[in-house]
Chains A and B, each alone.
Chain A
Amino acid sequence: MSLSKKLSFFLLAVFLLMVVSACNSTTSTQPNTDEQSENPSGTGNTEEQGPIVIGGTLPLTGPFAETGLYVKDGYEYWVQQINDNGGLLGRQVELKILDDQSDQAKAVSLLENIISQENVDLLIGGYPGSTAATQMGLAEQHQMVYISMGGHMTSFNQGFTYSFGAPPLMGEWWYDGVFDYFASLPEADRPMKAAMITVNDPVGNAVRTSSLEKLEELGIEVAVDEYYELPLNSAEPLVIKAKEAGADLFIANGYFGDGVQTIRAIKAVDYNPKAVLQGIGSLIPSWQAELGEEGNNVFSSTAMHPDLPFNGVEELNEYSATKYGGDAPPYFMFGYAWMQVLGQGVEGAGSLDQQAIRDWLKSNEVDTVGGKFTFDEKGLPPEYSYATQVIDGRPVIVWPADVATEEPVYPYE
């Protein structure tokens, strides 16, 4: 082989070895990383002093960045507050969040970095559900507590003991609230025929499965049941199908972009079902900011809301008024809540020992901005969902009645 090729290869090997040894030596002051990563009580700096480091990854760039950034804000705000109030276990808290660029493989590799190179004391969850579910498995292998939105029910059926959905964004619980509302209506007023379109991915499927169950329970016929893939080129054909089938209940299990197209198509073709349910689009501030009245009267769900009467919600809203110019965005609240649960678990266990934290969380109640939760063997709180509806451009809780701030608008206009 030519000299230059040999040289290239040699230089490459040297470069690689340099990088490897550089990385190995630039870690925090860990004398023997191997030994300490076997210790599930977490590492961090020398005990009793120095900050507690909480680490994780989030999509700060890429398609999921919009939500990832809100979650990060929630994490940072909690850390700021806890530090202002004396810290966790008397120690200051540091946050280390790496950008996984909305890439699943990077989320694995970077979380491994967080755990094994940065040697953080505690983990906190990633986004979206597919990433969280992937990291749930990794955290389990490291025997570290992992608090996140979860990856729907399948992720909680894998036998992971260290994972918590606190609270989870559970597709299978999504429309519980809305269907409970329908069940409360006199039979004559209820919708009779449903048309459902679903994004063919884990999120869509989770929501669809439970929707089908509920529809059967209420005796609502399913006239249209279609999957679609993103990107959705045009929603009109699907919506016309629903209209032609005479469906008076329209369920769109999708995201923001396709949700917007679907709503516009509904208006454009003059389709007037009694109710429109939309997946997770209305959970994003852009739904309100961008659609305004156009997005009105769409039902959805949430596990967290700035109008809920729980401890700390008011304070988050005050902070959000200055930071965002409005109420606390849901994902900001989720981030904050997940941190709250982690913090309470640590304080409750009185240590950074992952098993102790896990056991404490599974036998005690936590108090968060999303409510009070207890967790079962799988790390899930009891099933719940708040039905929301976009009224006057704003998604408000309409069911259950004890926390509802508005009456549902029904039928759809």
Chain B
Amino acid sequence: MIKSNRVLIVVILATLLLAALPFVGLNLYLVSFLFLLMMNISLTVGWNIIGGYAGYVSFGHVAFVGVGGYTTAVLLAKFNLSPIITTPLAGIVAALVALVVGYPALRLRGPYFSLITLVISLAIAAVVLNIPGINAASGIFLSAPSGDIHSSRLILFEMMVVVLLFTILCAYFIEKSKFGIGLKAIREDEVVAATQGVNTTNLKLLAFVISGGLAGIVGGVFSWYKGLVFVDAMFSVNISVMIVLMALLGGTHSWIGAVVGSVLVMVINEFLTLSIGSNLSQIIFGILLVVTILFIPNGIVGWIEAQMHKFKKKAKG
């Protein structure tokens, strides 16, 4: 299954379009919402590298978001370094953490891996809470990107556009490459893959580290968006859960599934909150999840593919 270069062009064009949006007079709320949307897409696409391609469903991805977020937060609050510069560093720190925790964690398979990543994320949160000197427990304030709210929103938005593009490109190239094929072999049957000479340990770890690093970059920008960083929110299990949800709903076999899943979940959730609000909107959301997974249990992209296939067959026959 070889992807044509046309997809990449579509992606780049779409991203340029996205980057231009704030300039055509979009109101600040949409700029803000699109920021969150892009952030979630990035997180899901990045997660999918280990969760979808390799089949190791991590439930602790927020740990890397949090580590990245705290990196930029501390560097800004203590050393006055702008996240525009420090975000890449946030990604590296997160990648290092992923390396350290990934090595033991990836020895487990299936749901055990999922659960241990959840526990690891809780552990990392506990560690950050107790690191001396950064005063995580009282909350860290970050000064706004700019004195003017429009410029602030613009800076954050464009940063996230770059992050999104970078993440999608990473996923795209990984998917096409031997690395990606190796990961998929691991997903299909790890034991067999190993016997066929695939260095499963290294490939898994690399995927996990890249995935974590990408999440860290997102986190680095996210903390600036929030303006105030405290442990409960920055390491919220809910973020991890939502990432998995978006990926599973969209379809984990390619980055496109991750994009589709994130957009649908984010937009529908926002729509429900704004129009109905309160308990009812969440009840509806829950029911929608149930219904969707019942009828499209293997992801929306896969389902669309199946429908297209049926359609093609009908057209032919």
Contact = CB atoms under 8 A, between A and B. Distances in A.
A–B: direct contact at CB < 8 Å? yes
Interface in B73-94: none
Interface residues of B, number: 62
Nearest to A119: B27
B304 interface: yes
Interface string B284-317: 0000000000000000110011011100000000
B227 interface: yes
A155 B138 CA distance: 10
Interface stretch (B179-187, B202-210, B252-260): B252-260
Given A134-B226, A200-B129, 18 more contacts: A3-B308, A4-B305, A5-B254, A6-B6, A9-B7, A9-B260, A12-B259, A15-B263, A34-B25, A104-B226, A105-B36, A115-B29, A116-B32, A130-B232, A130-B233, A141-B148, A200-B137, A201-B232
B149 interface: yes
B232 A116 contact: no
Interface stretch (B104-112, B193-201, B274-282): B274-282
B250 to A, nearest CB: 9
A348 to B, nearest CB: 26
Interface of B: 1, 3-4, 6-7, 10, 14, 21, 25-30, 32-34, 36, 126, 129-130, 137-139, 141, 144, 148-150, 152, 222, 225-228, 230-233, 236, 238, 254, 256, 259-260, 263, 267, 271, 273-274, 277-279, 281-282, 300-301, 304-305, 307-309
Given A1-B6, A141-B152, A205-B137, A134 B28 contact: no
Among the interface residues B33, B144, B236, B304, which one has the most CB atoms of the partner chain A within 10 A?
Answer: B33
Interface in A200-241: 200-202, 204-206, 227, 229
Contacts of A321: none
A19 B267 contact: yes
A32 interface: yes
Contacts of A142: 149
A contacts with B: majority SS: helix
Contact of A103 (B33, B231, B238, B281): B238
Given A15-B263, A105-B36, A113-B33, A61 B138 contact: no
Contacts of A104: 226, 228, 233
Contacts of B273: 98-99, 101, 106, 110
A103 B236 CA distance: 9
A74 interface: no
7 contacts: A19-B271, A33-B27, A37-B28, A60-B277, A133-B228, A154-B141, A205-B138
Contacts of B230: 130, 201-202
A116 B139 contact: no
Contact of B233 (A101, A105, A155): A105
Interface in A134-184: 134, 137-138, 140-142, 151-152, 154-155, 158
Nearest to A38: B150
A32 B25 contact: yes
A2 B305 contact: yes
A381 to B, nearest CB: 22
A138 B282 CA distance: 26
A158 B28 contact: no
A134 B305 contact: no
Nearest to A205: B138
B227 A202 contact: no
6 closest A-B pairs by beta carbon, nearest first, are A116-B28, A4-B308, A117-B29, A137-B227, A112-B32, A104-B233
A220 B259 CA distance: 59
Contacts of B33: 109, 112-113
B282 A61 contact: yes
A203 B149 CA distance: 29
A202 B1 contact: no
Contacts of B222: 105
B259 A201 contact: no
Contact of B138 (A20, A108, A154): A154
A60 B278 contact: yes
